[in-house]
Amino acid sequence: MKLNIIACVKSVINNMLPGSNRNTLENMELNPFDKPAIEMALSLIKEHKGTLTVLSMGPKSATFGIHQTIAMGADRAVLICDPALKESDTYITAKVLGKALKKLEPFDIVLFGTRSSDSDTGHVGPQTAQMLDIPFIGNIHSLTADQMKNRWIVERKADGYLEAFEVDAKNSKEQKNSSVAFSVSSSFGDSNTFGRPSFISLYGVERAFADKNIEFWDNQTLGLKPEETGLIASPTKIVAWNKEKRSKACQFIDGTYDQKAEQLAQKLSEAGFVG
Amino acid sequence: MDIFLTEKHKIVRHSVQDFAQKQIVPIAKEIDEEQRFPWEVVDKMATLGYLGIQAPKELGGAGMDTVSYTIIIEEISKASASLGLCASVHNSVALYPILAFGNKSQKEKFVPDLATGKKIGAFCLTEPNAGSDASAIEATAIKDENRDSDHYIVNANKVFVTNGGVAETFLIFVRTNPSAGPKGISVIIAEKGSAGFIVGERENLSGMRANPVSSIRLSDCKIHASNLLAKEGQGLKIGLAALDTGRIGIAAQAVGICQGSLEEGIKYAKERIQFNVPIAKHQSIQNMIADMGTQVESARLMVYRAALLKDMGKPFSKEAAMAKLMASETASRVADMAVQIHGGYGYSKSYPVERYYRDARITRIYEGTSEVHRMVIARSLLS
C-alpha cells in the first residue's frame, strides 16, 4: 500500500526584533509544532512507501521552513504565495488550503501540526478537514493502517486517558479519493522507532536545494479572486496586537525545610508543573 | 553579518545549531573534564554529513561549499572546540589532501570511509624537532632494498597528532630522499593496524581535552607504494595546500570560541548583581561587551571572506592566513574578557568560559603559530 501523504505546515517568526513584525529569511523557521507531522509522515512512508508533499501558505520568506521540510525528506513542496492572501484569518487559510488540496488529489492522509507557535489557534487542521468534508482527529501520537478495511487506527492522549479510535477514510462526493486528516501531537516519536530527536543532515540540505524546487502557487492557480482572500474576506480581524506585560512576583515559603519542600511541591503541582 | 550568506547557508547554520545545542552542549563540560572522545556524538555527526562536508556526493560526502564548512566548524566549536577540532582536521587536512592530490584509486579507496565517518583521519607533520620549521622533519620512507620495490619502509616519530587516538587513516610526512632537503619530503597514507604502526600516549593538554591528541610512531612499518600521495618530493606542496584550507577551519573554530565567550559574557553580565544593579549596567562591563562583539564580527568577516574566495576559485592563501591570525588572537582576547566579566567564577570550572579560555589559547599555536602566519602575510605583502 503506497501512501500519498500531504503535510500542511507553516513558517513562523522565531525571533522578532523590537518594534517590528517583519518576516524575513533571517527570522523564519518551520513551526516547531509541525515537525512531528513531518516525522510521522516520513515514518509512515518508510513503512508503506509512497510520497510526502508539503503544502504551505505564506510570504516568500516562508521558503526557509519549506526547505527545512524537504531537507527532512519531503518529496514535493508547494507554497501558496500571493500578496492578496496577506492577513488571512484561519478560516480563509483553511479555505485556501482546501482548494490547494483538491488540486493535489489523490491523497490518503493530510497531516497538520496541532497548532502554530506564533498564533496558537489550532483551527487550521480541523477547519481544512471541514472544507474537504473528511474526518479529522486531533493530537494523535500513533497511526497504524488496517489495510484490509481501508481503515486507520489512531491513538491520542486526552485529559489523562489514552484514547484509541478507528476511522474510515471517507470518500466525499466530489473527491477523487478517500482520505482522512489528523493533527500530530508533539509527543509523537517519544516511543517511536523513527527516533527523536531527528536532525537535518547536510545531505538533506543539499537535496533541498539541488534538485527539489518549491512550486509557487497563487490565487489564480487556485481559481480564487483577490477579494475572496486576505483581510477583506476574513471573518475575524486582529484589532489589537500588543506585547503582554509580564509581572514577576516572588513568593516566600516559611517553615522547616520539610514543610518548605512540602509546600513547594504542592504549589508546583497546583500550577501544573509536576504531577 | 549575514549579507552574503544564502538561504541554504542559513539552513545549514540553523540545522547545526539545533544539533549542537541538543547533542553537544549537554556533554561539553563532561568530555572536557574526563578527556573523553564522545563516539556516540561523533557517530551522529558522521550520519549528518559533518565528516564529509566538502567531499563529493559520489564519494559519500555532502558536496557543500567552503562557506558552509566554515559555518559548521564555527557552530560545533561554539559548543565544544574539541569536537570542532576533530571535524576541522578530519575534513581539511586529512580528507582534503586526498581529494586534491590523490589519484582515482586512492580517492575510491580512502575517501568514502572518511567522508561518511566510518574512519577518522589525521595529519602527521609535527615532530619533536620539527614544528614551525616543517622542512626539518626526520621521518623517513625508504624503498625496500631497491628503488623499484613496491613498498616503503617507514620510520617516523610524530607528536601532537590531533585525532591521533581515534583515527585510522593518517597522512604521514616523511623524507623519501633524505639527501634532497625540502624537495625530498613526501606524504604517505598510513593505516592503523599495519605492523610497526604504534599509537602512543595521549597528550595531557591544557585545552581541547576531549580530542585524543596523541603521538604516533612508525617503526620499520611496511607500506605499499600505492599509498604515496601524488609524487615523491611533493610533500611540502601538499602540506602547504592542506594548511591553507586548514587555516580556514581553525579560524572558524576560533570564531566559534569567540561567539560562545561573547554570549556567555552577555548572559552573566545581565544576571550578576553588584552594587545593586546587574553588572551589565556598569560602563566598564559595557566597554568589554562592545569590544568583544566588535572583534568577533571583524574576525568572522575575515574568515568568511577567505572561505568565499576559495569557493570562487580565487587565491585565498594570504586571506586565510590573515583570518587565522586575526581569529585566533581575537579568541584569546575575547575569552579572556569573558573570564574577566565572570570574575572569580570565570576562573572556576562552574562556567564554560573557563573552558573557552583554555581552548582559545591553542588556536594561536597549531596549524601555524601566529608568528609563522605573520611571516606568511608579510612575505605576501612585501613580494
Tell me: the pLDDT tens digits for A64-91? 999 999 999 999 999 999 999 999 999 9
- The answer to whether position A147 is within a domain reads yes
Domains of chain B (ranges; CATH) run 2-115 (1.10.540.10), 121-236 (2.40.110.10), 237-382 (1.20.140.10)
Q: How many CB atoms lie within 10 A of CB B43?
A: 13
The shortest CB-CB distance from B2 to any of A26, A29, A63 is to A26
- DSSP code string of B287-331: HHHHHHHHHHHHHHHHHHHHHHHHHTT---HHHHHHHHHHHHHHH
Query: Over pLDDT 70: what percentage of chain A?
Result: 88
Q: Mean pLDDT over residues A110-136, rounded?
A: 91
| Peptide bond preceding A197 in cis form (omega within 30 of 0) | yes
The model's confidence at residue A250, banded by pLDDT at 50, 70 and 90, is confident
The shortest CB-CB distance from B12 to any of A26, A197, A202 is to A202
Q: How do residues B6-38 score in pLDDT, each as one tens digit?
A: 999 999 999 999 999 999 999 999 999 999 999
Q: How do residues A225-248 score in pLDDT, each as one tens digit?
A: 999 999 999 999 888 878 788 888
| Confidence (pLDDT) at A148 | 67
| Confidence (pLDDT) at B377 | 97
- The answer to whether position A65 is within a domain reads yes
Query: Over pLDDT 70: what percentage of chain B?
Result: 98
B62: closest CA of chain A, how far (Å): 5
User: Which residues 5-64 on chain B approach chain A with CB closer than 8 angstroms?
Assistant: 7-8, 10-12, 14-15, 18-19, 22-23, 44, 47-50, 53, 57, 62-64
Cβ contact, residue pair B18, A71, below 8 Å: no
User: Which residues 55-84 on chain B approach chain A with CB closer than 8 angstroms?
Assistant: 57, 62-64, 68, 72
- The answer to whether position A83 is within a domain reads yes
- The answer to whether position A264 is within a domain reads no
| Confidence (pLDDT) at B146 | 64
Q: Mean pLDDT over residues A191-207, rounded?
A: 74
Question: Shortest CA distance to A141 belongs to which of A192, A180, A181, A179?
Answer: A192
Question: Shortest CA distance to B282 belongs to which of B267, B291, B272?
Answer: B272
| Confidence (pLDDT) at A27 | 78
| Confidence (pLDDT) at A195 | 43
Residues of chain B found within 8 Å of residue A208, distances taken between Cβ atoms: 8, 11
| Confidence (pLDDT) at A160 | 87
Residues of chain A found within 8 Å of residue B20, distances taken between Cβ atoms: none
3-state secondary structure of A261: helix
The shortest CB-CB distance from B62 to any of A29, A64, A203 is to A203
pLDDT at B283 over 80: yes
B318: which 3 cell numbers? 594570504
Element (H, E) at B67: helix B66-79
- The answer to whether position A272 is within a domain reads no
pLDDT at A3 over 60: yes
Query: Which are the catalytic amino acids of B?
Result: 367
pLDDT at B271 over 50: yes
Question: Is A200 part of the contact surface with chain B (CB cutoff 8 Å)?
Answer: yes
Q: Mean pLDDT over residues B109-121, rounded?
A: 98
3-state secondary structure of A90: helix
Question: Shortest CA distance to B288 belongs to which of B226, B206, B240, B353?
Answer: B353
Among the residues of chain A, which ranges form H helices?
35-48, 63-72, 90-104, 124-132, 202-210, 230-233, 257-270
The model's confidence at residue B47, banded by pLDDT at 50, 70 and 90, is very high
Q: How many CB atoms lie within 10 A of CB A20?
A: 10
Cβ contact, residue pair A202, B18, below 8 Å: no
Q: Between these two residues, B251 and A254, which has the higher pLDDT value?
A: B251
| Confidence (pLDDT) at B334 | 98
Q: How do residues A31-62 score in pLDDT, each as one tens digit?
A: 989 999 999 999 999 989 999 999 999 999 89
B70: closest CA of chain A, how far (Å): 13
Q: How many CB atoms lie within 10 A of CB B25?
A: 15
| Confidence (pLDDT) at A192 | 45
The shortest CB-CB distance from A199 to any of B7, B15, B53 is to B15
| Confidence (pLDDT) at B147 | 61
Question: Is A64 part of the contact surface with chain B (CB cutoff 8 Å)?
Answer: yes
User: What total of structural domains would you count in chain A?
Assistant: 1
| Confidence (pLDDT) at B2 | 65
B52: closest CA of chain A, how far (Å): 9
* Residue A244 amino acid letter: E
| Confidence (pLDDT) at A194 | 43
Q: How do residues B135-177 score in pLDDT, each as one tens digit?
A: 999 999 998 666 668 999 999 999 999 999 999 999 999 999 9
**Axis-axis angle for helices B81-89, B39-47 (nearest 10):** 50
| Confidence (pLDDT) at A22 | 62
Cβ contact, residue pair B15, A26, below 8 Å: no
Q: Which domain holds residue A189?
A: 3-233
- The answer to whether position A56 is within a domain reads yes
Cβ contact, residue pair A203, B12, below 8 Å: no
The model's confidence at residue A193, banded by pLDDT at 50, 70 and 90, is very low
Q: Which residue of A lies nearest to B48 if distances are taken between CA atoms? A: A201
B32: which 3 cell numbers? 572536557
pLDDT at B1 over 60: no
pLDDT at B87 over 90: yes
Distance in angstroms (rounded) separating the CA atoms of residues B344 and A87: 52
The CATH number given to whatever domain includes residue A25 is 3.40.50.620
B56: which 3 cell numbers? 563529493
Strands annotated E in chain A: 3-9, 11-13, 28-30, 50-57, 76-80, 109-113, 136-146, 151-158, 161-168, 180-184, 214-217
Which of B4-18, B65-79, B133-147, B220-234 has the lowest average pLDDT? B133-147
| Confidence (pLDDT) at A14 | 77
Average pLDDT over all residues of chain B: 96
Q: Which residue of B lies nearest to A201 if distances are taken between CA atoms? A: B48
B72: closest CA of chain A, how far (Å): 10
Q: Are A115 and A33 in contact (CB under 8 A)?
A: yes
Residue of A202, A209, A214 for testing the chain B interface, max B β-carbons within 10 Å: A202
Residue given cell 490547494 in the structure block: A100
Q: Which residue of B lies nearest to A32 if distances are taken between CA atoms? A: B18
| Confidence (pLDDT) at A212 | 60
**B151-161 vs B214-224, strand pairing mode:** antiparallel
Q: Mean pLDDT over residues B69-95, rounded?
A: 98
Angle at the Cα of A35 from the Cα atoms of B65 and B61, rounded to 5 degrees: 25
The model's confidence at residue A13, banded by pLDDT at 50, 70 and 90, is confident
CB pairs under 8 A between A and B: 63
The shortest CB-CB distance from A205 to any of B11, B44, B47 is to B11
